[in-house]
Each structure stands twice: as C-alpha cells, then as structure tokens.
Amino acid sequence: MNIRPSANIRQNYNEISALCKATGEPVYLTKNGEGDLVVMDIEAFTRKQKMLELRERLLTIEENRLAGNVGVAVDDLDHELKRIIDEVY
C-alpha cells in the first residue's frame, strides 16, 4: 500500500504518477495524518470499474438463475461469458 502526505502530490506529481502507472495500484494521500484522497492511474481505474460492472452483471444473472428465470441457453453460455469477459479487458 502506497501512502503519501497530500503535499507530496504538489511537490512530486510525476513521481506519484509514475508509481501509479508502474504498480497499477492506488496511492493513498493523507492530510494531517488522516486519510484524505486516493489517486490512481486512469487505466487501472477503468479496469476496476469494468470489473465491478462485470461482477454486478454476473450477480444479476445468478440471482435470475436462482429465481428460476431462463437466461442464456447452455449451448450459448461459453460464447456469452467470453463476450462479457472481453468487455472487461
């Protein structure tokens, strides 16, 4: 976990930007010793957002399946899952 004081973003923007890009992990910024902001690379953020959307879609599908609703035919399931996963990557 990368934690930096918030003043560090003004003084070392390029360093923090490079760290976010190199690790794909967020940098947590503190203000007066308390958590304040999270900074992360736009590609990592987009990837996380897509993963969350995928998780929500899969959860909805599972809820519908448990409720007895028919979704995708078994023969089409492999193709449908690959399509959904490709949207994330």
Per-domain residue ranges of the chain: 2-40, 44-88
pLDDT digits (tens, 9 = 90+) for 11-62: 999 999 999 999 999 999 999 999 999 999 999 999 999 999 989 988 988 8
Rg (CA), the chain: 19
Residue 27 burial (CB count, 10 A): 21
Between these two residues, 28 and 7, which has the higher pLDDT value? Answer: 28
pLDDT on residue 36: 94
Q: For residue 25, which phi and psi values (nearest 5 degrees)?
A: -110, 155
Integer angstrom CA distances of residue 54 from 34, 73, 77, 86? 32, 19, 15, 10
- The predicted model scores a pTM of 0.66
Token pair, residue 41, equals: 């690379």
